[in-house]
Structures are given as C-alpha cells and as structure tokens.
Amino acid sequence: MYKEAKAFIERMYIECDLNKAEMEERLTHIKREIDATGTYTHTQDELTFGAKLAWRNSNRCIGRAHWRSLNVVDARDISSDTQFLSSIESHIKEATNDGNVKPYITIYHPSHPPRIYNNQLIRYTGYEDCGDPMEKRVTQLAQHLGWQGKHSDFDILPLIYQMPGDTIKYYNYPSDLIKEVPIAHPNYPKLAQLGLKWYAVPIISNMDLQIGGITYPTAPFNGWYMVTEIAVRNFTDSYRYNLLPLVAQAFNFNSLKNNTFNKDRALVELNYAVYHSFKANKVSMVDHLTAAKQFETFERTEAKHNREVTGKWSWLAPPLSPTLTSNYHHGYKHAMKDPNFYYKKKESRGCPFH
Ligand code: ARG
C-alpha cells in the first residue's frame, strides 16, 4: 500500500507543482499511519486530484478532455440513511443542473461505505417482456424487496442500498428530481408517437475507484451523454431495446433488407432524433464526431505533458461511422494506470438473496 500511496503522492506533488519538503513530510506521515492502522486517509486535495486522475486514466472514456472539470464531493463522513439519501439526491440535482450537465463524483468511506446495488443511479427496469433487458437482475432485486413498478418500458428503478450493518432497502426518487427527454424527430412525427424517452444523466454506480492503494467501493460518478450511447447501443442493440424495426417504420422505410441500406439510414436518423431532442430540451449531449475531436485535443495536451494516453480501442471508436474519427485509425495501449475505475468482481455483484 505504501508503494502505491507513494507513487500517487509523488505524481500529485509533481503535476501540481507543490512543495517538495511538504511532500516528504506527507509521505512520512502516510508511512506511519499505514504502519499503525494498516491503511491511510486521503486529504481532501488528494481525494479531489485522485478522482480526476482516475477519469483521465479511464481507457474506455472518449470524454477525458474534461477531466479537470470534475466536481468532487467528499462524502466519507456519511453514516446515516438520511444523510446518504440526501447526498445521492444532491448528486443527481447538482449534476443535472437543469440540463446543463456537470461532471460529478460523490465518494463515500473506503472501509465502511453504504453499498449501492444499482448499475447507475438512474436506470430503467427490465421485465421479461418489456423495458431494458440489461436491468433484469436489479429489477428482480427491487421486486424481491417489495418494490412494484408500473410495468412500462421506462419505469425508473428505485435506489437499492445498504448502510453498513443494516439491511438492504429501496428508495423511490421524487419524480421531479429525474430529468428525462422525450424523443422526437422534426421530419418524422411518427417517431414521437412511439413514446421513447431517455434520462438526462448517466451516473455510474457499480465501479470501484482506486487511488494510491485505497479502494473506494462506492463512488458514483457522471459525465454527460454522447448520442451514440443511447441511439446506437441502448435503443438499437438486439439485446437491449432492439428498436430498429419499430423506428424504421416510423421513418417510413418499407424494407429493411440489408442491401437497401435502410438499417443504416434508420440508425443515422435515430441518432439525429436523440441528439436534437436533447438539445431541444436544453440537456447536454455531445455527438460522436465532436467527442472524437475533443479526444484528439486531449491526446495532444497529454503528449505535451509527456504523458502516454492509454485506451481501449473498441470503446473509443464510436459505434456510428467510426472511420470518420481519428481514433479509429490508430491503436492504443490498454494498460491500467493508477488512479482508475475498476469493474467490481463477479462475486460482489450477484443478487444478495440467491
Ligand atoms: N453507456 C452508458 C449508458 O448508455 C453510460 C456510460 C457513461 N457515459 C457517459 N457519457 N459518461 O447509459
């Protein structure tokens, strides 16, 4: 742990151009704390800088140019249900910011954190016959706890959480807390009649944050959406909402035979619809080509600081017209730098009742 702490602290002091003597002092202090207690405590500055670096090092993220703008909330002292729920609501409210989405992370105590069972703070239910198949397991867990949904395609899942030493509970958000965008296409009124919508802010709540040898198991974080995440993947993947046939009808395509290229056309129009619906509702969203441009800028800035940009190519190449972006045309080293975000191990992710 000390080795990892040292690497992180040294990086912080160098990058932030801080006092060398103070760094030595801090390291001595950390060493003593680890020897005495088996762990150490980040200062607020360390927590803030560490969370930002975790974003900068996230190989799958195309939005990393904005890593410096992350708002970091230190929630390590939270111990009661009420405090916890209000910190979650405050995250959603501040991050949504009436549609002008701000990147936020709320970090809970590393060794006795409240536990969150949701994949994202806001997510739609998945039932056998409708909704988001990705969320079937969390939906079952909610039902097991006594929660009942409306059985629609877009029921918002409750927050499912557990305070240390307490039982698992669920909590329904007040409905005015959750911003959603109805999907329409200016040229095809039939699309709006499908009643599609999506929530404004993706807040990932199932990953570990690691900083300098310390793991934070509960640290929900968000940016804003890139259009393809919703239009290409969530709406169109055959194992998600699988909407291509339905949407194509709304766009008046009468054949979806491969060689008509209408599948491709429908996909492009759906992206157009999602993007412009978000904009019409004054909710932040970036298109894939702009996001890729911003990523190029990020790569140039990192190169200027002599830092290598690691990445996962299959995630950085957008799933629509990838060859129109520069990151399609070169490779990335998929090495994990610390600090970073990690998927949780399988054992800790299953249904706690089965
Ligand atoms: N792809 C995920 C979703 O569709 C969200 C992942 C995070 N995305 C982001 N733009 N920060 O819900």
Q: What is the pLDDT of residues 303-328, one digit of tens each?
A: 999 999 999 999 999 999 999 999 99
Nearest to 43 by CA among 214, 171, 188, 203: 214
3-state secondary structure of 288: helix
Amino acid (1-letter code) at residue 210: Q
Rounded to whole angstroms, how far apart are CA atoms 337 and 4? Answer: 11
The residues, ordered by sequence, that sit 6+ positions from 140 with a Cβ below 8 Å of its Cβ are: 351
pLDDT cut 70: percent of the chain above it: 98
CA of 30 from ligand 1 middle (Å) equals 36
Q: Are 226 and 287 in contact (CB under 8 A)?
A: yes
Mean per-residue pLDDT for 8-12?
98
Give the C-alpha separation, 148 to 340, whole Å: 36
Q: Given this model, what pLDDT does residue 198 score?
A: 99
Q: How confident is the model at residue 349 (pLDDT cuts 50, 70, 90)?
A: low
Helix or strand run (H / E) with residue 52: helix 44-56
Average pLDDT, the chain: 97
Distance (Å, rounded) from C-alpha 234 to C-alpha 133? 10
Ligand 1, CB cutoff 6 Å, lining residues: 202, 204, 223, 225-226, 229-230, 234
pLDDT at 353: 72
Pick the catalytic residue from 46, 135, 229, 299: 229
Pairing outcome for strands 159-162 and 168-171: antiparallel
CA-to-CA distance for 78 and 216, rounded, in angstroms?
A: 14
Please report how the helices 2-15 and 20-37 are oriented relative to each other, as an axis angle in degrees rounded to 10. Answer: 160
pLDDT digits (tens, 9 = 90+) for 127-172: 999 999 999 999 999 999 999 999 999 999 999 999 999 999 999 9
265 is catalytic: no
Is the pLDDT score of 75 beyond 70?
yes
Q: Say yes or no to pLDDT of 350 above 70.
A: no
**Length of the chain as a residue count:** 354
Q: Whose CA is nearest to atom 1 of ligand 1?
A: 229
Cβ count near 168 (within 10 Å): 15
CA distance readout (Å), 24 to 32, 47, 129, 345: 12, 18, 60, 35
Residue 347: per-residue pLDDT: 62
Residue 69 CB partners (closer than 8 Å, separation 6+): 102, 103
**Which residue out of 55, 67, 198, 224 is catalytically annotated?**
224
Mean pLDDT of 22-50: 98
**CB within 8 Å of 162: residues ≥ 6 apart:** 114, 115, 117, 168, 169
pTM of the full predicted structure? 0.97
* Active site (annotated) includes residue 224: yes
What's the average model confidence in pLDDT over 81-91?
98
Q: How confident is the model at residue 351 (pLDDT cuts 50, 70, 90)?
A: low
Residue 354 has pLDDT above 70, yes or no: no
Selection from 180, 311, 312, 194 nearest residue 244 by Cα? 194
Of 61, 225, 239, the residue with max ligand 1 atoms within 8 A of its CB, to mutate for a pocket test, comes to 225
Residue 192 scores a pLDDT above 80: yes
